A = this chain, B = another copy of it.
Amino acid sequence: MEPKNNEEEWGKTAWEFLTQVRTQSPLIQCITNFVSMDLMANTLLSAGASPAMLHSLPEIPHFTPRADALLINLGTLSPSWLPSFNSAAELCHSLGTPWVLDPVAVSASPFRFNACLELLRFKPAVIRGNASEIIALSMPQHSTTDSTKGADSTHESTDAVEAAKLLAQRTGAIVAVTGATDIVTDGNQVVGARNGVALMQKITATGCSVTALIAAFVAVDKSHALDATVSALAVFGVAGELGMKEAKGPASLRMHLIDALYGLDEAALKSHVNITSLC
């Protein structure tokens, strides 16, 4: 994969991915937390994908093979959901279907940390977290001194570049660290995406939803997972910037963001994309 040299090339790539999602309408199975389900499904629908929130164990052998990509998000993890997580991830791994991991609040407990470690065995195509989550997941074991505050990060994304590279090298996944600057790496190349607005942090499940969008973008071209990830982050961030022009607070931003994602056109996307190769 050749690194893009400038924003013009990234704008073109992001637009191509969005167009493919709108055209192919990939089926994205989401096994995700309860808080995120509404916004995540609406994000996928607005981008042109087809979401399916099926999670139960007896259905996975029949349904997961039809999915074009799978998202696993550990937000409201409970022991009864773990077999589904593992079964769906393992099946995707064996079928070559790309799947994306969102290790929400991974350091909240050893139980959660170990659930993530177990999932890593099934080779996610992409891992997306905030800085605290990616740093915690890059560690060899659960750290009780970690300062993660629930689902919110206590680190800047730029503090997590080395952790992200390490995690990418160890797992073979593309690793994305979202924050003021989104960092995306394959363990070698590092790309920074600066789209989005700070107020998006005040809307629950925006992080979860952009991870689902990454799954939709990876679904249409799994051989370019880094490009897909960067593109999804940029598209969602640009929708946030466009939505912000109309917003008067977090709730109206949420609405305008989804409307903007649905209506996003080539000119607006290309003129707003803000992506740089960091190394």
Contacts and interface: CB of A to CB of B under 8 A. Distances in A.
A152 B28 CA distance: 12
A121 interface: no
A91 interface: no
Nearest to A39: B38
A77 B50 contact: no
Interface stretch (A13-21, A218-226, A251-259): A251-259
A232 interface: no
A108 B152 contact: no
A168 B125 CA distance: 46
Most buried by B among A29, A51, A75, A250: A250
Given A56-B79, A80-B80, A203-B42, A255 B258 contact: no
A115 B152 CA distance: 31
A27 B250 contact: no
Given A35-B41, A39-B38, A42-B250, A110 B149 contact: no
Interface stretch (A58-66, A180-188, A266-274): A58-66
A37 B255 CA distance: 18
A175 interface: no
Nearest to A47: B202
A55 interface: yes
B76 A54 contact: yes
Contacts of A278: none
A263 interface: yes
B42 A251 contact: yes
Interface in A160-178: none
Contact of A109 (B41, B55, B58, B260): B58
A259 B248 contact: yes
Interface in A78-106: 78-80, 105
A46 interface: yes
26 contacts: A27-B149, A27-B150, A34-B53, A35-B41, A38-B205, A41-B204, A46-B202, A46-B251, A50-B150, A51-B150, A51-B151, A52-B105, A52-B108, A54-B76, A54-B77, A56-B111, A57-B79, A59-B112, A63-B108, A248-B259, A248-B263, A249-B260, A249-B262, A251-B256, A251-B259, A251-B262
Interface of A: 27, 29, 33-35, 37-39, 41-42, 45-46, 50-59, 61-63, 66, 75-80, 105, 108-112, 144, 149-152, 201-205, 247-252, 254-263
